A and B are shown apart, each in its own frame.
Chain A
Amino acid sequence: MKKNFTILALAVTSLIWVQSCRTVDSKSVGDFVDSVSKNFNDVVDDMQGRGEQSRQAHAEKNAPQKKESLGQEAGGGGLIGVAESLGIDRQTAKIAKSAVGLAQALQPIGLEEELTLGGSLALEVVHKFGGLYKNPALQNYVNLVGKSLADVSDRPEIDYHFAVLNTDHPNGFATPGGYVFVSIGLLRLLESEAQLAGVLGHEIAHITQKHALETLKRSKILSGMSSLTMSAMNKNEGMFNKVILEASNTLFTHGLDKDLEYEADKLGMEYAYRMGYKPSGLQEFIEILDKSSLGKTSIYFSTHPSFPDRLLGLGQLLPQYKGGDHYPVLAARYQSRVKEQLSKVNGQL
C-alpha cells in the first residue's frame, strides 16, 4: 500500500514537473494557448456582431488583451502566428459576419486582382500627392527599412515597394499589393530610424491585413457580386472606375474604420519590435505630429483616429514589449541617410 502510494506521489510530482518544464522552457506555448483563447474570443465577438465597438472601448480591449502574447518570448510568428494557426482571422470572420444570411458573398480577391487595384491606387497616390521625390539614395534607405520590416511581417511572400512622395505635408499611404509611400514632409519630421520603422510598419500592416480590400468588399459598390476577377475588371470598365473611386474615397477622404487603424498601429509596433527597433517609434512619431503645425495638414489627421486616442492605444501596448526599451533607435543613421540627404538637395549644407 505504502509502495503504491509512493508510486502515485511520484507520478503526480513528475507530471507537475513536466508541466512546469513546459511552462518555463516553452513559455511561448503557454502564451500561444492564452492568445488562442483570446483571439478566438475576438473571432466569436465578430461572428456574433459584437466586434463593432467604440474607439475607446477598442483601445481598452485590445491593449491589455495581448499582454501575455507579446514580448520577447512571443512565438514563431509573434501575435500573428496565433490568428494564422486558427485559420480564421479577424477579416475572414468579419466577412463571415456580413455574409451570414446572404446567398451571395464576394469571394476572396486574388493576388492579380489585388495588384491591379493596388497599382491603380498607387498611381492615384502619386498623381494626387505631389509625385515621387527622385533621390535614389533616399529611396534605397526607405526600401531597406521597409523591406526588412516586410520580411518579418505576416505576409512576407509578396513584393513590397517603397517610395518617397514630393510633398511637404507629412503623409503616408499603403495600397493593396505592397505599395507604400511616405512624403518628404513626414521624413523631415521624424528623428530616428525606429520612428520611420513604426510608420512603415503601420502602413505594411494595412497590406498584410488587407484592410482596404476588406473594406471594399463590404462596400455597396460590390454588393450582389460574387467575385471580382480580372476578367470582370477587363470587361467592365465602368465597374472598375467605380471600384477605384470608392477605394480612393476610402483611403484619401473618409479613411478606414477606426478599428482597422488601431490594428495597424498595434501591428506596426509589433513589426518594428520583431525587426529589433525600439518599439515606441510609432508613438513618438504621433507625438511629434500632434505637436507640429503641419500635423493638421496630414492624412494621418484627416482620415485616422485622433492623435490622443492613438497615443492612448499605443501607450497601453508598449509595456508588454519587455526589454524593447533598450533596442536601437538609430537616430544617427537616420540623420546621415535622410536629414543630410534632404539638406544636400535643398542646398542647406
Chain B
Amino acid sequence: MQIALFLLIVLGFANAGLAETLYVKKSDTKLQATDSAKSEVIAKLDEGTPVTVIKKLKRFYQVSEPGGKKGWVFKFKLTSKAPEKSSGGSGELLGALGGKQKIAARESSSGSSIRGLTPVSENHAKKKGISAEDIKAVKEMETFQVSPEEMELFLKEGRLGEYGQ
C-alpha cells in the first residue's frame, strides 16, 4: 500500500513536470482530429495561442487549446517562443547585456496596416533613377498572392508539410 502510494506520488510529479506549453506561429493553423492532414479540422488557431502538449508523434503533436479542445497540429507550426506583450525596444539589448532572459519581439505584418513600398522607398527609388516599370514590378511582387486552396493542393500533391512522411 505504502509502495503504491509512493509510486503514485512520484509519477504524479513526473507527469506534472512534463506539461509543455508551445505557441502557434501563425494564424489559421489547423487543429485536426487525428495525426493526419486528411483528418477533420476541429478548429483554426490564432497566432500566439498557447497550447499544452499531450503527446508527440513524428510530425504531429497532440495538444489542447485554451478552450479545452484537443487535437493534432503539424509540429513545425508551433514554437516555444511566447508572444510578447509589449514591443522590445532597448529592453532587448539591456536584457542581453544584463544576462536577463527576454523573449524576442514577435511582429506580424499580416495583421497590421503596413503594406507595400513605403513613400520613403518609392521616393528614394525615383530620385535614384529607378524606372517606373521596376517600381511597378516590386509592387506587383508584393501583391502577388497564392490562395489557401492552392497551397493545400500543392502540399498534398507533393506530400509536403503536414502531408509529409
Contact = CB atoms under 8 A, between A and B. Distances in A.
Given A18-B10, A240-B120, A87 B104 contact: yes
B108 A88 contact: no
Contacts of A124: 130
Q: How big is the A interface, by class?
A: 35 or more
Contact of A230 (B75, B109, B120, B157): B120
B80 A156 contact: no
Contacts of B58: 72-73
Contacts of A144: 146, 150-151, 154
Given A120-B121, A158-B110, A323-B165, A274 B89 contact: no
B79 to A, nearest CB: 4
Contacts of A122: 138, 141
Contacts of A85: 80-81
B103 A112 contact: no
Contacts of B47: 157
B124 A240 contact: yes
Interface in A239-270: 240-241, 244
Interface stretch (A50-58, A286-294, A305-313, A325-333): A325-333
B93 A107 contact: yes
Q: Interface SS of chain A: helix, strand, loop or mixed?
A: helix
B101 A18 contact: no
Interface string B50-80: 0001001011010000000000000111111
A18 B124 contact: no
B102 A87 contact: yes
A326 B10 contact: no
Contacts of A123: 117, 121, 124-125, 130, 134-135, 138
B116 to A, nearest CB: 8
A118 to B, nearest CB: 8
A295 interface: no
Interface in A160-215: 161-163, 177-179, 193
Interface in A92-144: 92-93, 95-96, 99-100, 105, 107-108, 110-112, 115-116, 119-120, 122-124, 126-127, 131-132, 134, 139-140, 143-144
A276 interface: yes
B105 interface: yes
A335 to B, nearest CB: 13
A154 B107 contact: no
A89 B95 CA distance: 12
Nearest to A123: B125
Interface of A: 6-7, 10-11, 14-15, 18, 21-22, 25-26, 28-29, 72-73, 75-78, 80-82, 84-89, 92-93, 95-96, 99-100, 105, 107-108, 110-112, 115-116, 119-120, 122-124, 126-127, 131-132, 134, 139-140, 143-144, 147-148, 151-152, 154, 156-159, 161-163, 177-179, 193, 230, 233-234, 237, 240-241, 244, 274-277, 323, 326-328, 330, 333
12 contacts: A88-B95, A88-B102, A108-B89, A112-B114, A115-B114, A120-B125, A147-B151, A157-B47, A161-B142, A162-B144, A178-B109, A328-B160
